[in-house]
Amino acid sequence: MTNLDREVQEQILTQIQTTFPQDHVLAEENDVRHDIKDGNVWVLDPIDGTTNFIVQRDNFAVMLAYYESGIGKIGVILDVMNDNLYWGDGSSTYKNDVQIRLTAKPLRQSLIGVNTYMYRTNAGGLLDLSHESLGVRAIGSAGIEYVNILEGKIWGYFSNLSPWDYAAGAVLIAPFGYITQQIDGRPLIFEGRQMIMSVPSNQLDKIKAYLK
Amino acid sequence: MTNLDREVQEQILTQIQTTFPQDHVLAEENDVRHDIKDGNVWVLDPIDGTTNFIVQRDNFAVMLAYYESGIGKIGVILDVMNDNLYWGDGSSTYKNDVQIRLTAKPLRQSLIGVNTYMYRTNAGGLLDLSHESLGVRAIGSAGIEYVNILEGKIWGYFSNLSPWDYAAGAVLIAPFGYITQQIDGRPLIFEGRQMIMSVPSNQLDKIKAYLK
């Protein structure tokens, strides 16, 4: 957490609350919490990848999503240092002004993005699953991991995340047949932290044997 | 290994052998091997990060180094997709036409680049050491890891490498007080694979307690 996290959050929330005064907010900083299933909810991570932001000045993102009664309607990820905006409504996704096309390859021909703690302790069976891929990569920002899925650089993403870490990404990858759920198969709950995964839904059956 | 690896190697080696017919070569493809201590030796990795090259079309590098009787005289890394050339003579290093300035922070305020297998199995004590840092990152290309050291994004790099993976990087980071050696403290031998590290030499004493 930095002062800048809070400043960015306040700036964005002021805009939302001015334009949509009836809407609710679920955001990382300052304990701004609201039940995702209750009405119109904006989900904000003002700076995702804070350690990267501080140390690297790269590989961090601003993430914003909009949900209605728990259904994702808008997702936005800004890859700040590359100045690329990924945005979509759950049925199509754009990188700046170009619509993204994406077809996931089989896991065996792919790399996966992982939380390094889960990987090394085999939490959720992630280490076992990783052996079915070409290898793992670790970037340190959920937002940039979702960007890497959209860019076709990783096949899926496995981490221990809060709602603002996955709310926007889940909407952006949905048009390409991706599902975001808990590693054990339960749905997202949009509170606290869970071990979650974002993977091509038509390959779920193949990976279930490794996950727990 | 791809056909392109070999094609790139042949193109570069043809240039070297035409211009410096007396010199020797140590290169990844086609078993081109020469003792680093014997005369003038060019060390080439035509495509470093081959899996990234195939899967991601990003995060791969071309690496070339020149050694005289085992002493590094020239290092070159081309970050292909960002079109940045890092080059130097061991006393100064440039990114394209700008000289690089770099002062390593303490490990506790830094991220480290790791080989994920060594990290998860604590090979060389790497997992223990990682707990003294802000975290680990895994990119899948030695060349891009050395770029990330030069860009100040990671403090050091720990992996299981062949000579062409570290020959250029070792020269490029030397001007900033970095040393490249085996994790257990032995010098580089420029043959086979070793567990090596590239770290700020003035912090070696602090990390020795964790390494083995």
DSSP string computed for A84-130 = EEEEE-SS-EEETTEE----PPPGGG-EEEE-HHHHHHTGGGHHHHH
Chain B residue closest in CA terms to A107: B55
Q: Could you report the per-residue pLDDT of A159-168, keeping only the tens digit for each?
A: 999 999 999 9
CA distance B186 to B163: 15
State which amino acid sits at residue B9.
Q
B residues 117..136 contacting A (CB < 8 A): 119-120, 127, 134-136
Task: Answer whether A116 sits within 8 Å of B138, measured CB to CB.
Answer: yes
Q: How far is it, in rounded angstroms, from Cα B65 to Cα B89?
A: 10
pLDDT-based confidence at A32, cuts 50/70/90?
confident
To the nearest whole Å, the CA of B24 is away from the closest chain A CA by: 34
Number of CB pairs, chain A paired with chain B, less than 8 A apart: 60
Domain with CATH 3.30.540.10 in chain A: 3-99
Q: For A140, which of B59, B116, B135 is closest by C-beta distance?
A: B135
Where in chain A is CATH 3.40.190.80?
107-207
Task: Please report which confidence band the pLDDT of residue B125 belongs to, taking 50, 70 and 90 as the band edges.
Answer: very high
In the CATH scheme, what architecture does the domain A107-207 have?
A: 3-Layer(aba) Sandwich (3.40)
pLDDT band at A38 (very low <50, low <70, confident <90, very high): very high
Task: Tell me if residue B22 falls in helix, strand or coil.
Answer: coil
pLDDT of B1 reads: 57
Contact B138 A136 (CB under 8 A): yes
Q: Measured between beta carbons, which residues in chain A are less than 8 angstroms from residue B138?
A: 116, 136-138
Of B55, B111, B151, the CB nearest to A134: B55
SS3 B83: coil
Mean pLDDT, range A182-196, rounded to an integer? 96
Give the count of beta carbons closer than 10 Å to the beta carbon of residue A205: 8
- Give pLDDT, residue A182: 98
**pLDDT per position as a tens digit, A123-141:** 999 999 999 999 999 999 9
Query: Would you call A135 and B51 a contact, using CB atoms and an 8 Å cutoff?
Result: yes
- A53 and chain B in contact, CB less than 8 A: no
B107-208: which CATH number, 3.50.50.60, 1.20.1090.10, 3.40.190.80, 3.20.20.140?
3.40.190.80
Contact B62, B8 (CB under 8 A): yes
Residue type, B148: N
Q: What is the DSSP letter of A187?
A: P
Residue B99 near chain A (CB below 8 Å): no
SS3 call for A185 = coil
* pLDDT at A207 exceeding the cut of 80: yes
Residue B120 Cα, gap to closest chain A Cα (Å): 5
A13 pLDDT tier (thresholds 50, 70, 90): very high
Tell me which chain B residue has its CA closest to the CA of residue A121. Answer: B120
Please calculate the CA angle A142-A147-A149 and round it to the nearest 5 degrees: 95
- A56–B134: do the CB atoms touch at under 8 Å? no
Strands A93-95 and A84-88: antiparallel
Q: The tokens of B104 are what?
A: 């390593």
Where does CATH 3.40.190.80 sit in chain B? 107-208
SS3 content of chain A, % helix, strand, coil (to 5): 35, 30, 35
* Helix then strand then coil, % of chain B, to nearest 5: 35, 30, 35
Torsion region of A123: left, alpha or beta (phi above 0 gives left; psi -120 to 50 gives alpha): beta
- Whether the pLDDT of residue A1 is over 80: the answer is no
Q: Cβ distance B49 to B59 under 8 Å?
A: yes
CATH number, domain B3-99, options 1.20.1340.10, 3.40.50.11890, 3.30.565.10, 3.30.540.10: 3.30.540.10
pLDDT at B113: 98
Contact A116 B119 (CB under 8 A): yes
> Inter-chain contact B116–A119, Cβ cutoff 8 Å?
yes
